[in-house]
Amino acid sequence: IVLVGHSYGGTVISNVHDPKVESLVYISAFAPTQGEAALLELNPIQYPGSQLTLALRLKTVDDTQGIAGKNLDAYVDPARFPEVFAQDVDPALAADMAARQHSLALSANLEPSGAPSWASTPSWYLVSTADRVIPPASQWHMAERMNAHTSSIDASHAGLVSHPGDVAAVVEAAAAG
């Protein structure tokens, strides 16, 4: 099994500990270490360049685990989505992506991560050098500390869409070991 995580999906795969998983692939993704919250990798002093916090919008959602049955979810403002998330994607497709995006519990990006699976599982990291969500310097830092097989593409945060062949090649390399 090869797990692939993009963006917050990197946090998810970093916390999967299953002997069936043979490799991990991070595509413009958070790769937190133990006790680290994903949003720490957007520290504007250490890693300038993220426009995400300026484009995030919040909405109240029903949540049986939240206070009074409510919680806060975050999403990228559809008006800002193309320029922040997908500047190298066809504008019509980027608008469609913005309209179809799912919100994420705000608290998810603030939770401390567990012991990272990348510490004991071979990992690959594809850095998007034109990313306006997770700054490239942060991506390089995460890839280096996890000792990942690292490569890069000149892509936005939506490199999965704008450079699918490059992304597939990294996944295939991870599958081959």
Q: What is the number of domains present in the chain?
A: 1
Q: What is residue 39's predicted lDDT score, i.e. its pLDDT?
A: 85
Beta strand extents in the chain (DSSP E only): 2-7, 23-29, 56-62, 70-76, 104-105, 123-128, 149-153
Please report, for the domain that includes residue 145, its CATH number: 3.40.50.1820
**pLDDT tens sequence across 123-169:** 999 999 999 999 999 999 999 999 999 999 999 999 999 999 999 99
d(CA 96, CA 60): 23
Q: pTM for the full model?
A: 0.94
**Average pLDDT of the residues in 45-73:** 91
**Secondary structure (3-state) at 115:** coil
Give the pLDDT band of residue 66 (cuts 50, 70, 90).
Answer: confident
Give the pLDDT band of residue 13 (cuts 50, 70, 90).
Answer: very high
**pLDDT tens sequence across 14-54:** 999 999 999 999 999 999 999 999 888 888 889 999 999 89
Closest by CA to 133, choosing from 14, 44, 25, 20, is: 44
**Whole domain around residue 85: which residue ranges?**
2-176
**pLDDT tens sequence across 93-132:** 999 999 999 998 888 888 999 999 999 999 999 999 999 9
Judge contact between 24 and 123, C-beta under 8 A.
yes
